[in-house]
Amino acid sequence: MICIIDYGMGNLRSVEKAFQNRGFEAKITRSAGEISAASACVLPGVGSFGRAAENLEKFGLTAAVKDFITSGRRPFMGICLGLQLLFPASAESPGAEGLGFISGSVNKFDTADLKIPHMGWNSVKLLKKNDIFEGIPDNSYFYFVHSYYGSPADTALSAGETEYSLKFPSVIIKDNIYLFQFHPEKSRGKGLRIIENFGKMAKAGIWK
């Protein structure tokens, strides 16, 4: 079972339907027990960093998510705000604590030339080989909606890069953690292929 973590924010149904479209059993849940027993977990998100961190704690999910990731035995996906929440903090919500698995910072786009939020289709330059990219050509287009972006202290964690005023990491991979600043569930064929690849990893219990 792939658990889609419900903390009151995010495109939960869209993510659930994307996995089901590719033949995987997926369930939206707010149960720490179900998260603990899942073959994989997905943390989607749309909204503010501070509110999201608060809701994870409010619903008793922070510890469950941290335990799942720390186990290192099963794949974990973060989407959009779900990527940013893996950092310790964000410029969007000073004082709010993220999950802290990716050292670095979450910053706001600073540009007078381009619209914020960054919204629409943009290309992703693949920086390293990984099973999550199977069947995904370099510079494929995916759908973005965000005003902030995560910058890992360890630049080697950046597996995909996108340019919008500046080049920023749009895919971050660390051990069993797969983070996407874009929305695979809204990115049609290429996005559904990423969903499928992640589902295969969960089913096989193998990732790299």
Tell me the C-alpha to C-alpha distance, in Å, between residue 95 and each of 58, 98, 173, 194: 16, 10, 26, 33
Backbone dihedral angles phi then psi of residue 193, each to the nearest 5 degrees: -70, -40
Token pair of 26, please?
């997926």
With a CB cutoff of 8 Å and minimum separation 6, the contacts of 15 are 4, 26, 42, 44, 79, 185
Query: What is the Cα–Cα distance from 106 to 85, expressed in whole angstroms?
Result: 9
Tell me the C-alpha to C-alpha distance, in Å, between residue 45 and each of 49, 58, 110, 129, 135: 9, 16, 22, 26, 25
| 3 counts as catalytic | no
| 54 counts as catalytic | no
| 183 counts as catalytic | yes
Query: What is the Cα–Cα distance from 128 to 119, expressed in whole angstroms?
Result: 25
Residue 168: which H helix or E strand, with range?
A: strand 166-174
Query: What is the Cα–Cα distance from 146 to 2, expressed in whole angstroms?
Result: 25
Q: Is the link from the previous residue into 75 a cis peptide, with omega within 30 of 0? A: no
Choosing from 16, 41, 80, 92, the catalytic residue is 80
Choosing from 41, 92, 118, 185, the catalytic residue is 185
With a CB cutoff of 8 Å and minimum separation 6, the contacts of 89 are 96, 97, 98, 105, 106
Choosing from 41, 92, 183, 196, the catalytic residue is 183
What amino acid positions are annotated as catalytic residues? Answer: 80, 183, 185
